[in-house]
Amino acid sequence: MTAQISDIFLFKGEEYSLVGMSGGELITPYDFGMKPKALHTACWRGFYSTYEITDDGIFLKNMTMREKDGNYKPINNIMPEVTDGEAQYTDVHMLVSFTGKLRLAKDFIDELYIHMGFQKPSAFRKVLDLSFENGLLLDVKDRSEEMEQKRGAFKKKYESKDIIEGIYEAFSLDMDSE
């Protein structure tokens, strides 16, 4: 199995990976009546997205997906460009009314890579928790020092677990699964 492609967030001119969330849900193809199908081993859920966080809220910018039946529908009046069964929705600019917390990370440490699921916050040098209400940013907390204290703990735990239990935790974006 392969590490999974995470959703990307553009925030203050920098690119972050989504490594945890709590509260609400982000946009999925199901919201538009589509059923995603695995793109490849690095994307079992069948889609991944890029969002941008601005003073006006969270916006879905792009989504890449494969629809189970090839039944692609518009997202915010945008139809995708489809190549080899893979759809690219670009410049969607759709406001997301997310309420909850997102944990975003950047500057991945290669030696902490796990070969399954999503990479964990302690495997990154910079980690932020962002709190939102109806898509509007309320608070930003830098968790980098805390994650530095946990550095390598998930990988060690992951490598010592039963494979099924390890898979479940590796695919989780639960903010408490570190």
For residue range 42-91, list pLDDT tens digits in order. 778 889 999 999 999 999 999 999 999 999 999 999 999 999 889 999 99
Kindly state whether residue 178 falls inside one of the protein's structural domains: no
Higher pLDDT, 27 or 165: 27
Query: Domain containing 82: what range?
Result: 25-96
* Residues 81 and 123 both lie in one domain: no
| Whether 79 and 125 share a structural domain | no
Are the C-beta atoms of 62 and 91 separated by less than 8 Å?
A: yes
Residues 88-96: what's their mean pLDDT?
A: 96
- Burial zone of 44 (CB within 10 Å; 0-12 exposed, 13-18 middle, 19+ buried): middle
Do 146 and 123 share a structural domain? Answer: yes
> Does residue 116 share a domain with residue 80?
no
Q: What is the pLDDT of residues 9-32, one digit of tens each?
A: 999 999 999 999 999 899 999 999
Boundary-marking domain end, from 62, 79, 96: 96
Examine residue 60 and state whether it is found in any structural domain, yes or no: yes
CA distances from 62 to 7, 48, 125 (A): 10, 9, 26
Q: Are residues 135 and 88 in the same domain?
A: no
In a domain, 164, yes or no: yes
Look at the chain and report how many structural domains it folds into. 2
- Confidence (pLDDT) at 162: 60
Is 71 part of a structural domain of the chain? yes
The secondary structure of residue 77, as a DSSP letter, is: T
79 and 105 together in one domain = no
What CA–CA distance (Å, rounded) separates 77 from 39?
23
116 exposure class (CB count in 10 Å sphere: 0-12, 13-18, 19+)? middle
| CA distance linking residue 113 with residue 118, whole number of Å | 9
Residues 91 and 50 in one domain: yes
Residue 120 lies in a domain: yes
Task: Determine, yes or no, domain membership for 73.
Answer: yes
